[in-house]
Homo-oligomer: A and B are copies of this chain.
Amino acid sequence: MRTEISELGKFGLMERLNGAAKTTAGARAAGASGDDGALLSSALLLEGVDFDLTYFPLRHLGYKAVAVGVGGVLAAGGVPVAVRVALGVSAKLSVEDLDELWAGVRLACGELGAAVALGDVRASVTGLAISVSVAGRAVLTAGSTAVAGRAVLEAKECVRKSDAGAGIGRSGARENDLICITRDLGAAYLGLHLLEREKRALAGIAGAAGFSEAARPKFEGYEYLLERQLKPRARKDIVDALAAEGVVPTAMAEISDGLAGDLMQICRASEVGARVYLDRLPIARESYALAEELHIDPVVAAMNGGDDHELLFTVPLEMRERVAGLGVEIVGHITAPGTGAALVTPDGSDIPLRSQGFND
């Protein structure tokens, strides 16, 4: 018997291997917590899948690999403490290339206050592979002593179903909780499209395959989109701000596969529904402009584009004022079990959410 992986999709496969969603979809899967509030997250970035070295500067790639790697720790309400990198390196890269990559890794770790070490480097026959492992310390937990400013008791009230010490999971969202995201969405996905267009145009010029100089894409005006794709910033500032405000989310996730997929994961793990309002979706001006130019639906880019590496979290309704002060966007709310997850259009109709498949 042979089942194609694309039949199950990424989330289906992870549920199958991790076992029952209830026990693993939360902090354990997101951060694989140990004891003593220790959190663990990781990322694997593969050439030809996650990045293309024809347009991805190695310094930025090192920076991004760390940002992607720490996402699981941040989403569990922790801060990264130590980062360990393993590299598979093809012969086309030189020592100086790796110096560049490593400068980006060190820059990102320095900004995050995390120790960093190259744990292993090996020859690769299949392009550059970057493995990032991150150990973190939980700061947003019921028993946390890192909560400053506000009473720890208040924070405790917000924790309803998370395992103390194991970080925030995906299973604690409840009806009426607010759905918050930490930045506009879709920009990284559109930045990738811009880079791909540039690559095709340059290939055309180099190969004299019919592209004229005039067809060469312009980056002017789209710097923001390139930065979101090439140098995403890990949102440790949000975890720090939540801790300072004494706000412990009921559920949290990193938006790596698009808002739709990650929100659906929270809904499944928490056994609730969700409504996201289309007119509340933050989409940058540059995203609208490029989406129009490329004939891409900016809402699809925001909901399914992926690669945002921002945070998605839910908090009880009574936390509205407090989270508003953090500069996060409230895009919807959690609904009763069985109501499904949907995007609500301005005229009030529901569009059911769908997540990306394995190869999308």
Contacts and interface: CB of A to CB of B under 8 A. Distances in A.
A49 B133 contact: no
Contacts of A5: 89, 91, 93-95, 98, 121
A321 interface: no
B87 A44 contact: yes
Interface stretch (A14-22, A140-148, A292-300): A14-22
Contacts of A64: none
Given A36-B36, A96-B3, A129-B129, A118 B81 contact: no
Interface stretch (A25-33, A154-162, A213-221, A242-250): A25-33
A316 interface: no
A176 interface: no
A208 interface: no
A102 interface: yes
Contact of A1 (B40, B85, B96): B96
Interface string A180-213: 0000000000000000000000000000000000
This chain's copy number in the assembly = 2
A34 B81 contact: yes
A34 B124 contact: no
Contacts of A7: 95
A135 B38 contact: yes
A120 B44 contact: yes
Contacts of A82: 32-34, 38, 40
Contacts of A16: 95, 99
A163 B256 CA distance: 37
A193 B329 CA distance: 58
A32 B96 contact: no
A102 B17 contact: yes
A121 B10 contact: yes
A72 interface: yes
Contacts of A17: 98-99, 102, 118
A14 B46 CA distance: 21
A46 B87 CA distance: 10
Nearest to A357: B123
**Residue of A5, A47, A102, A125 most packed against chain B (CB within 10 A):** A5
Contacts of A41: 84, 119, 133
A27 to B, nearest CB: 10
A39 B117 CA distance: 12
Contacts of A83: 32
A8 interface: yes
A223 interface: no
B32 A84 contact: yes
B29 A115 contact: no
Interface string A75-106: 00000011111111101011110110010000
Contacts of A135: 32, 34, 38-40, 135
Question: A-B pairs with the 10 shortest C-beta distances?
Answer: A126-B126, A133-B133, A34-B81, A3-B95, A42-B133, A131-B131, A44-B86, A32-B84, A44-B131, A40-B135
15 contacts: A2-B96, A13-B121, A14-B118, A16-B95, A28-B115, A33-B82, A34-B81, A36-B38, A38-B82, A41-B84, A44-B87, A47-B126, A50-B122, A84-B133, A133-B133
Interface of A: 1-5, 7-8, 10, 13-14, 16-18, 24, 28-30, 32-36, 38-44, 46-50, 72, 81-89, 91, 93-96, 98-99, 102, 115-127, 129, 131, 133-137, 358-359
